[in-house]
Chains A and B, each alone.
Chain A
Amino acid sequence: MNIPEYIDSGILESYALGAVSDQERREVQCLSAIYPEVRQELDKLTLALENYALLHSTEPPPDLQDRIRNRLTMGAPAQPTTNDEPAADKGAKVVPLHREVPTFQVAWVAAAAVGLVLIAFAYFLINQLKTKQAYADELAQTNSRIQTEVGQLKQQQQYNTQLISLLQTPGVETVRLAKANPAGAQADLIVYWNKADKQVTLQVESLPALPADKQYQLWALVGGKPVDAGVFSTDRQQLQRTARTIAAAEAFAVTIEKVGGSPTPTLSTLLAMGKVG
């Protein structure tokens, strides 16, 4: 069936005005149930007629409402079985209309709330992360500083332990050397001479720095003759044991020589001296 043509035929208008035969009425009812377009057009026509009727609205007599109410039986009808189907029909049509919109809105509001909470939580986490990172950096710095300090302390400790064990050894002679020339540079060092095993250990307290091609050399004076007692550096951090053994000595002296040492001392560079005993 051609529906647009049917709608255009004028039968719907006649139906809405009640001007159709019984057969035509059944036909319109049947088709409007099947085709939404027919239903829609019919609804528009009846709406127009309702609006037309509403234009004629008039105020009824004031006592009409009470007259009607007095004749009505209130409360649900006694036989619910007969209207089960239409009631269900109505329910199915009405309930969604009133539920749909709020549910939709509630879902949106809930989604938005969840989104906000997530954003706030993420912001909180990022802040936490930044704080922790700064804290970790600080800790790493402190850690390396402490490690350096511990290293220094260990060295110091080793130095002290060596010194104590040296001093506790019986027969070790302590010889303090001071600058030989009153006008010369400041020079302080201590020589620990172990007479038993002939070892010489040096503790530098203060010596001028040397150019790269020069080195300090220690001499033991035996019977007025200088004996090579080994070269050493200006390192103040540790005790230095010289490479030579000294069997006898009356005094110790320090000169500046070329790297590696000289067989005889250069007396002009005599820097410090100290007598044994």
Chain B
Amino acid sequence: MPLTQKIATYCAVVPLFVTTHSVKQPLFLVPESQLLQKLAKRDEQAFQWLYDQYAYVLYGVVLVIVEKPNTAAQVVEDVFVAAWADFDTYVPRQGSFLTWLLNRARLAAHASINQQEADQLPGNSKDSTEVDNLMADEHRILLHKLYFCGQTADQLAASIQLPPQKLRRLLQATLQELKHVFSR
């Protein structure tokens, strides 16, 4: 644990000096722009690309939220089918396609579990070990709660007893740190 803390501190401090770097693009075989063109046609290859590129990340995120592999598979299945049908409602101007898919998947995952189960989630125990080493503990737990536990900002503010303005500053620090982690 001291080692983790040391790394976490290191990560929290060092990014201050690399603020000008841009965030790394996720590496995919097919650029998003090409995939979108293909998807407009809805052909077999479009689905192959879509599945190959995004199934792992969607399944992984949903699994963290719902915990059960069977439920996760079902949620991902529904998300793909719905996205396939609703693709025309995606507006590239408002964000990347992956973010659009992730948000849908998270919503669907949260909808599939009931609130009591969500509350019972132990917070950071299911987090990826890589992230463990990347960020300050406080920020990591906060991010996990927001991203995977479906907690709203208000719920979060209440649970950690912070005024909304302070919570906003905390979120800012968290996300800026995340940004710097992926800038390196």
Contacts and interface: CB of A to CB of B under 8 A. Distances in A.
Interface of A: 9-11, 13-14, 16-20, 29, 33, 42-61, 64-65, 67-69, 71-77, 82-83, 86-87, 89-91, 93-94, 97-98
A118 B152 CA distance: 70
Contact of A10 (B22, B85, B102, B171): B171
Nearest to A83: B88
B57 A54 contact: yes
A239 B17 CA distance: 114
Contact of A17 (B55, B77, B175): B175
Interface string B5-47: 0000000000000000011111000010110110011111001
B176 interface: yes
B2 interface: no
Contacts of B24: 47, 51
Given A82-B88, A94-B33, A60 B153 contact: no
Contacts of A47: 23-26, 96, 179, 182
A60 B76 contact: yes
Given A47-B26, A58-B60, 5 more contacts: A53-B102, A68-B76, A72-B80, A74-B44, A83-B40
B112 interface: no
B146 A33 contact: no
B81 interface: yes
A18 B146 CA distance: 8
Contacts of A58: 56, 59-60, 63
17 contacts: A10-B169, A11-B168, A14-B153, A17-B146, A48-B181, A49-B99, A50-B26, A52-B131, A53-B98, A60-B73, A60-B76, A64-B77, A71-B81, A72-B47, A74-B43, A90-B40, A94-B36
Contacts of A61: 69, 73
B55 A65 contact: yes
A55 B88 contact: no
Interface in B97-111: 98-99, 102-103
Contact of A56 (B64, B80, B169, B182): B64
Nearest to B129: A55
Given A45-B179, A47-B96, A65-B51, A17 B171 contact: yes
Nearest to A60: B59
B73 A18 contact: no
B160 interface: no
A17 B23 CA distance: 17
Contacts of A65: 51, 55
Interface string B137-159: 00000010011000011001000
Nearest to B63: A58
Contacts of B182: 47-48, 51-52
A96 to B, nearest CB: 10
A90 B171 contact: no
A65 B47 CA distance: 9
